[in-house]
């Protein structure tokens, strides 16, 4: 197929079809043991991966890394060492896409200036949204309309240097990463390619992610680097896609329908990671707590066919009956070991039945931090967003959560300036933020996305300056809420898991507490005088659990006095509260 004089390899370009791809496992499991296949390195292809956006994109990059390693391609450590650059992208807001367009243009200029002959691939959500429109031959003045920030940028680039088009050599959607080797080979053969089929089944459950190894940096300037050992932190993608169809959201159109990995595959991967030294696992999904394993075994072994939503919440789709649900997954993963800490993101507030909340309260190794995206505090705005709940139902959920999990830390997402939002609607959101007292909020000005229901049915009628003003006001109130929450922790004893060396000083390390708040402590420490049989000094490293007493707080971080390293299973706050610090 020819497009503007270029050979165009259209690997697959269709939406929401059941794709019969060859399910060749990159890692096979026989009798519980992994047999890794040997692949021949293909000289000449050196791939560098850049990740933008959410943690799901980080997980997808690990999957892509596994696939390119299995194909025999080498991974470069920098753009200068590479001849292929993959950008794992986000499409949730216009600003996220503008960043990618600018990066593509920079890489094109770099390739010309240094004679690198870089082949550029765009992966993920932006690839799925724009498809072949991202390819360099198709970057024309027609893409400069409508005159938004992306259109203005492309117009300026084309006018300044028409021969340097900032597009990609190939694009690959979230369900098509198995096609990456063919796309990369095609690009180096002079072809432009796109593989953007969304699947009803693809979960990459058979692909063992290649996670970056980490070591303790020796200076504040160093970032974690490979040394042959696995990082003590890992994330596992348990489900993909979203069925909620919120009117503002592009995710269902770029990530597809919800589908979940088998519970057994997730538990097995979690066990393997723990045995390799991982101390904390984050379960990932676009709507993680709507997880539903409907494999044959799960349907046969399900204890109940009933699907329970949060009281007062409704869904736009037919509930998936049967199978194993999120409470089952949390239950099994948290039983692997009390030394394995469990987090999950990103949930929807409709999928927090009582059994999930009770399980979090009962299991000390499931972090008592819940992300409850509210998006707005206005009934009218929530209705236009298609969120399926009222502010009253959301507030009732918050009350229930705090009753069952007293020390819970709540975080949330908010959008300012959504279609039709009035000053009164905005004030209702401000009131909700103040009333709940979040540990942290993420807020963004509304960005209209093509294909969404809002794009087709609503009017983006709030001026940009009003969106920005409301965003700044809400962000400031969020900071005040974070500061108040963090200051309430002063004097409390907490168990933290060390993550790495402080960027400001190599004399300090940072970890996170149960609430997912960053805690700074000295790296070389002396245990509390009241701790018996303690060594004179301790050097803290990533993966160490330790007990600290919080002594200072800002809106972003906590500072703690080190008391002692401690196994997670033996931590008892009521005991440690009475131990004095030096």
pLDDT for 124-164, tens place per residue? 999 999 999 999 988 876 666 667 888 889 888 888 888 78
Mean confidence (pLDDT) of the chain = 87
Which pLDDT score, from 0 to 100, does residue 165 have? Answer: 82
Neighbours of 17 (CB within 10 A): 11
Same domain flag for 511 and 456:
no
What CA–CA distance (Å, rounded) separates 439 from 482? Answer: 5
Residue pair 516/343 in contact (Cβ under 8 Å)? The answer is yes
Which pLDDT score, from 0 to 100, does residue 253 have? Answer: 97
In a domain, 223, yes or no: no
What CA–CA distance (Å, rounded) separates 487 from 554? Answer: 7
The reply to whether omega before 346 is within 30° of 0 (cis) is yes
Residue pair 575/495 in contact (Cβ under 8 Å)? The answer is no
DSSP code for 371: E
What CA–CA distance (Å, rounded) separates 258 from 263? Answer: 15
Which pLDDT score, from 0 to 100, does residue 225 have? Answer: 33
In a domain, 203, yes or no: no
Same domain flag for 509 and 480:
no
**Range 381-390 average pLDDT:** 97
| H runs (alpha helix) in 437-548 | 453-457, 464-487
Which pLDDT score, from 0 to 100, does residue 39 have? Answer: 42
Last residue of a domain, one of 195, 219, 254: 195
Percentage of residues in the chain with pLDDT exceeding 70? 83
What CA–CA distance (Å, rounded) separates 398 from 255? Answer: 29
**Residue 531 is part of a domain; what is its CATH number?**
2.40.50.140
**Residue 50 is part of a domain; what is its CATH number?**
3.40.50.12160
Q: Confidence band (pLDDT; 50, 70, 90) for 309?
A: confident
Q: Confidence band (pLDDT; 50, 70, 90) for 582?
A: low
In a domain, 36, yes or no: no
Domain ranges, residue 497: 493-576
Same domain flag for 478 and 524:
no
Same domain flag for 454 and 560:
no
Last residue of a domain, one of 452, 487, 522: 487
Same domain flag for 482 and 503:
no
Which pLDDT score, from 0 to 100, does residue 197 have? Answer: 96
Same domain flag for 501 and 438:
no
In a domain, 221, yes or no: no
Which pLDDT score, from 0 to 100, does residue 144 have? Answer: 66
Which pLDDT score, from 0 to 100, does residue 496 have? Answer: 97
Which tokens sit at 144?
């400069």
Which pLDDT score, from 0 to 100, does residue 31 have? Answer: 29
Least confident of 178-182, 410-414, 506-510, 573-577: 573-577
Same domain flag for 316 and 415:
yes
Least confident of 209-213, 386-390, 560-564: 209-213
Which pLDDT score, from 0 to 100, does residue 531 have? Answer: 56
Same domain flag for 244 and 167:
no
Least Cα distance to 563 among 341, 13, 123, 532 occurs for 532
pTM (predicted TM-score): 0.88
Q: Confidence band (pLDDT; 50, 70, 90) for 4?
A: very low
Last residue of a domain, one of 453, 487, 521: 487
Those residues with Cβ within 8 angstroms of residue 167's Cβ, 6 or more apart along the chain or in another chain: 104, 120, 134, 135, 136, 137, 138, 139
**Range 185-208 average pLDDT:** 96
**Range 322-334 average pLDDT:** 94
- Check whether 355 has a pLDDT greater than 50: yes
In a domain, 186, yes or no: yes
In a domain, 224, yes or no: no
Least Cα distance to 182 among 191, 15, 173 occurs for 191
Which pLDDT score, from 0 to 100, does residue 534 have? Answer: 60
Which pLDDT score, from 0 to 100, does residue 181 have? Answer: 98
Residue pair 172/125 in contact (Cβ under 8 Å)? The answer is no
pLDDT for 12-22, tens place per residue? 333 333 334 43
Q: Name the more confident of 49 and 116.
A: 49
Those residues with Cβ within 8 angstroms of residue 334's Cβ, 6 or more apart along the chain or in another chain: 340, 342, 359, 363, 365, 366
Q: Confidence band (pLDDT; 50, 70, 90) for 305?
A: low
Same domain flag for 182 and 141:
yes
Which pLDDT score, from 0 to 100, does residue 322 have? Answer: 76
pLDDT for 445-490, tens place per residue? 999 999 999 999 999 999 999 999 999 999 999 999 999 999 999 9
pLDDT for 247-271, tens place per residue? 999 999 999 999 999 999 999 999 9
Domain count of the fold of the chain:
3
CA dist 532 → 496, 528, 546, 563, 564 (Å): 20, 9, 15, 11, 10
Upper half-sphere CA count for residue 207 (Cβ side, 13 Å):
28
Q: How far apart are the first and last CA of the chain?
A: 74
Upper half-sphere CA count for residue 162 (Cβ side, 13 Å):
3
What CA–CA distance (Å, rounded) separates 132 from 562? Answer: 54
| H runs (alpha helix) in 45-116 | 55-70, 94-113
Neighbours of 10 (CB within 10 A): 14
Same domain flag for 124 and 189:
yes
Least confident of 310-314, 402-406, 438-442: 310-314
In a domain, 387, yes or no: yes
In a domain, 70, yes or no: yes
Same domain flag for 379 and 333:
yes
What CA–CA distance (Å, rounded) separates 475 from 444? Answer: 9
What CA–CA distance (Å, rounded) separates 475 from 154? Answer: 31
Which tokens sit at 52?
């933008």
Which tokens sit at 41?
């390195």
- Check whether 417 has a pLDDT greater than 60: yes
Judged on CB neighbours under 10 Å (0-12, 13-18, 19+), 537 is exposed
List beta partners, residue 230.
213
Least Cα distance to 89 among 193, 214, 173, 4 occurs for 173
pLDDT for 198-238, tens place per residue? 999 999 999 999 987 543 333 333 333 333 346 899 999 99
C-alpha 227: how far from chain center: 25
Q: Confidence band (pLDDT; 50, 70, 90) for 295?
A: confident
Same domain flag for 305 and 412:
yes
Residue pair 255/285 in contact (Cβ under 8 Å)? The answer is no
Percentage of residues in the chain with pLDDT exceeding 90? 72
Which pLDDT score, from 0 to 100, does residue 230 have? Answer: 64
């Amino acid at each position: 197929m020819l497009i503007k004089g270029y050979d165009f390899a259209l690997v697959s370009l269709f939406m929401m079809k059941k794709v019969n791809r060859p399910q060749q496992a990159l890692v096979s499991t026989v009798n519980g043991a992994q047999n890794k296949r040997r692949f021949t390195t293909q000289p000449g292809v050196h791939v560098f991966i850049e990740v933008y956006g959410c943690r799901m994109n980080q997980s997808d990059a690990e999957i892509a890394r596994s696939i390119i390693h299995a194909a025999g391609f080498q991974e470069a450590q920098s753009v200068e060492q590479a001849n292929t650059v993959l950008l794992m992208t986000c499409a949730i807001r216009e600003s996220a896409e503008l960043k990618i367009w600018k990066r593509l243009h920079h890489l094109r200029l770099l390739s010309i200036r240094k004679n690198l002959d870089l082949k550029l691939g765009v992966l993920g959500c932006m690839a799925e949204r724009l498809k072949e429109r991202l390819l360099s031959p198709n970057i024309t003045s027609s893409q400069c309309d409508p005159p938004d920030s992306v259109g203005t940028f492309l117009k300026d680039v084309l006018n300044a240097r028409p021969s340097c088009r900032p597009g990609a050599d190939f694009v690959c959607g979230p369900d098509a990463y198995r096609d990456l080797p063919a796309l990369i080979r095609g690009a180096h053969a002079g072809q432009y390619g796109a593989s953007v089929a969304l699947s009803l089944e693809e979960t990459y459950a058979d692909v063992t992610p290649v996670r970056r190894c980490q070591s303790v940096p020796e200076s504040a300037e160093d970032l974690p680097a490979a040394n042959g050992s696995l990082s003590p932190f890992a994330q596992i993608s348990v489900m993909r896609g979203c069925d909620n169809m919120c009117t503002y959201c592009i995710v269902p159109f770029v990530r597809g329908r919800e589908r979940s990995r088998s519970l057994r595959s997730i538990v097995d991967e979690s066990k393997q990671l723990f045995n390799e030294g991982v101390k904390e696992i984050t379960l990932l999904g676009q709507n993680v707590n709507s997880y539903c394993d409907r494999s044959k075994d799960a349907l046969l072994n399900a204890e109940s066919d009933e699907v329970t939503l949060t009281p007062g919440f409704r869904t736009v789709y037919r509930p998936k009956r049967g199978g194993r649900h999120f409470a089952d997954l949390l239950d099994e993963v948290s039983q692997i070991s009390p030394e394995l800490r469990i987090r999950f993101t990103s949930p929807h507030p409709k999928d927090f039945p009582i059994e999930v909340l009770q399980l979090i309260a009962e299991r000390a190794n499931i972090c008592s931090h819940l992300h409850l995206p509210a998006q707005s505090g206005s009934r009218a705005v929530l209705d236009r967003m298609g969120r399926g709940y009222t502010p009253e139902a959301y507030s009732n959920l918050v009350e229930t959560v705090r009753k069952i999990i007293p020390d819970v830390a709540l975080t949330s997402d908010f959008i300012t300036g959504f279609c039709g939002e009035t000053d009164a609607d905005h004030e209702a959101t401000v009131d909700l933020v103040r009333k709940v007292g979040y540990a942290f909020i993420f807020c963004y000005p509304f960005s209209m996305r093509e294909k969404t229901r809002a794009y087709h049915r609503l009017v983006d009628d709030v001026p940009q300056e009003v969106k920005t003003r409301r965003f700044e006001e809400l962000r400031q109130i969020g900071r005040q809420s974070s500061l108040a929450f963090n200051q309430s922790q002063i004097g409390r004893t907490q168990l933290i898991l060390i993550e790495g060396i402080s960027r400001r000083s190599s004399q300090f390390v940072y970890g996170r507490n149960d609430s997912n708040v960053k805690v700074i402590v000295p790296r070389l420490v002396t245990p509390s005088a009241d701790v018996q049989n303690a060594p004179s000094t301790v050097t803290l490293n990533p993966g160490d659990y330790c007990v600290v007493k919080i002594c200072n707080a800002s809106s972003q971080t906590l500072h703690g006095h080190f008391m002692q390293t401690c196994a997670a299973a033996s931590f008892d706050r009521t005991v440690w509260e009475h131990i004095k610090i030096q």
